[in-house]
A and B are shown apart, each in its own frame.
Chain A
Amino acid sequence: MKTFTLGGVHPEENKLSADKAIEVLPLPEKVYVPVSQSLGAPSKVVVEKGATVKTGQLIAKGESFISANVHSPVSGKVVKIDDVIDSSGYKRQAVFIDVVGDEWEESIDRSPEIISEITAERDTIIKKINELGVVGLGGATFPSHVKLMVPDGKKAEYLLINGVECEPYLTADHRLMLEKGEEMMIGISILKKALGVSKAFIGIENNKPDAIEHLRKLCTRYQGIDVIPLKVKYPQGGEKQLIKAVVNREVPSGKLPIEVGCVVNNVGTALAVYEAIQKNKPLIERIVTVTGKSVTKPSNFMVRIGTPVSLLIESAGGLPENTGKVISGGPMMGKALTSLEAPVVKGTSGILIMPVEESKRTQVLNCIRCGRCITACPMGLEPVLLAQLSENLMFERAEAERIMDCIECGSCHYTCPAGRPLLDYLRLGKNKTGLLIRNRGKK
Chain B
Amino acid sequence: MSLLTISGSPHVHTQQSVKSIMYGVVIAMIPAIFVSVYFFGIDAARVLLISVLGCLFFEWLIQKYLIKGPVTINDGSALVTGVLLAFNVPSNLPAWIIILGALVSIGIGKMSFGGLGKNPFNPALVGRVFLLISFPVQMTSWPMPKALFGEGITDAITGPTTLGILKEGLDAGKTVQEIMASPNFPGYVNDLMGAQAGSLGEISALALLLGALFMLTRKIITWHIPTAYIGSAVIFSGILWMIDPTQFIDPLMHLLAGGMILGVFFMATDMVSSPMTAKGQIVFGVGAGLLTIVIRVWGAYPEGVSFAILIMNAFTPLINNMFKPKRFGEVVKNG
Tell me the A residues contacting B by CB distance below 8 Å. Answer: 6, 9, 11-12, 89, 168, 240, 244, 248-253, 255, 260, 319, 323-327, 329, 331-338, 340, 352, 354, 356, 358-362, 365-372, 374-375, 377-382, 384, 402, 405, 408, 410-411, 413-419, 421, 423-424, 427
For residue B179, give the distance in angstroms from its CB to the closest CB of chain A. 42
Q: Please tell me if the beta carbons of A361 and B330 are within 8 angstroms of each other in the complex.
A: no
Q: Is B10 an interface residue (CB 8 A)?
A: yes
Majority-rule SS of B interface residues:
loop
22 intermolecular pairs with C-beta atoms under 8 Å apart: A249-B332, A252-B329, A324-B4, A325-B7, A331-B9, A337-B4, A352-B11, A361-B7, A366-B116, A366-B118, A367-B117, A369-B272, A371-B271, A371-B276, A372-B16, A374-B277, A381-B325, A381-B327, A410-B9, A421-B8, A424-B8, A427-B8
A-contacting residues, B216-269, CB 8 Å:
222
Q: Please tell me if the beta carbons of B329 and A331 are within 8 angstroms of each other in the complex.
A: no
Q: Please tell me if the beta carbons of B329 and A417 are within 8 angstroms of each other in the complex.
A: no
A-B contacts counted at CB < 8 A amount to 169
Residue among B7, B75, B275 facing the most chain A CB atoms (10 A cut-off)? B7
Of the candidates B7, B18, B332, the one whose C-beta lies within 8 Å of that of A250 is B332
Residue in chain B with minimal CB distance to A14: B12
By a CB distance below 8 angstroms, the chain A residues around B8 are: 336, 421, 423-424, 427
What's the Cα separation between A110 and B324 when bound, in Å?
56
Majority-rule SS of A interface residues:
loop
Q: Please tell me if the beta carbons of B12 and A338 are within 8 angstroms of each other in the complex.
A: no
What's the Cα separation between A321 and B76 when bound, in Å?
36
For residue B72, give the distance in angstroms from its CB to the closest CB of chain A. 8
By a CB distance below 8 angstroms, the chain B residues around A366 are: 114-118
Q: Please tell me if the beta carbons of A6 and B333 are within 8 angstroms of each other in the complex.
A: no
Q: How large is the interface on B (under 10, 10 to 19, 20 to 34, 35 or more residues)?
A: 35 or more
By a CB distance below 8 angstroms, the chain B residues around A382 are: 276-277, 324-325
By a CB distance below 8 angstroms, the chain B residues around A11 are: 12, 14
Q: Is B13 an interface residue (CB 8 A)?
A: yes
Of the candidates A252, A360, A411, the one whose C-beta lies within 8 Å of that of B5 is A360
By a CB distance below 8 angstroms, the chain A residues around B115 are: 366
By a CB distance below 8 angstroms, the chain B residues around A249 are: 332, 334-335
What's the Cα separation between A331 and B326 when bound, in Å?
28
For residue B122, give the distance in angstroms from its CB to the closest CB of chain A. 12
By a CB distance below 8 angstroms, the chain A residues around B18 are: 365, 368, 417-418
Q: Please tell me if the beta carbons of A417 and B17 are within 8 angstroms of each other in the complex.
A: yes
By a CB distance below 8 angstroms, the chain A residues around B154 are: none
Q: Please tell me if the beta carbons of A324 and B5 are within 8 angstroms of each other in the complex.
A: yes
By a CB distance below 8 angstroms, the chain B residues around A336 are: 4-9, 11
Q: Please tell me if the beta carbons of A405 and B10 are within 8 angstroms of each other in the complex.
A: no
By a CB distance below 8 angstroms, the chain A residues around B331 are: 250
A-contacting residues, B1-43, CB 8 Å:
1, 4-14, 16-18, 20-21
Residue in chain B with minimal CB distance to A251: B329
Residue in chain B with minimal CB distance to A354: B11
A-contacting residues, B143-184, CB 8 Å:
none
By a CB distance below 8 angstroms, the chain B residues around A253 are: 327-330
Q: Please tell me if the beta carbons of A240 and B328 are within 8 angstroms of each other in the complex.
A: yes
What's the Cα separation between A350 and B17 when bound, in Å?
29
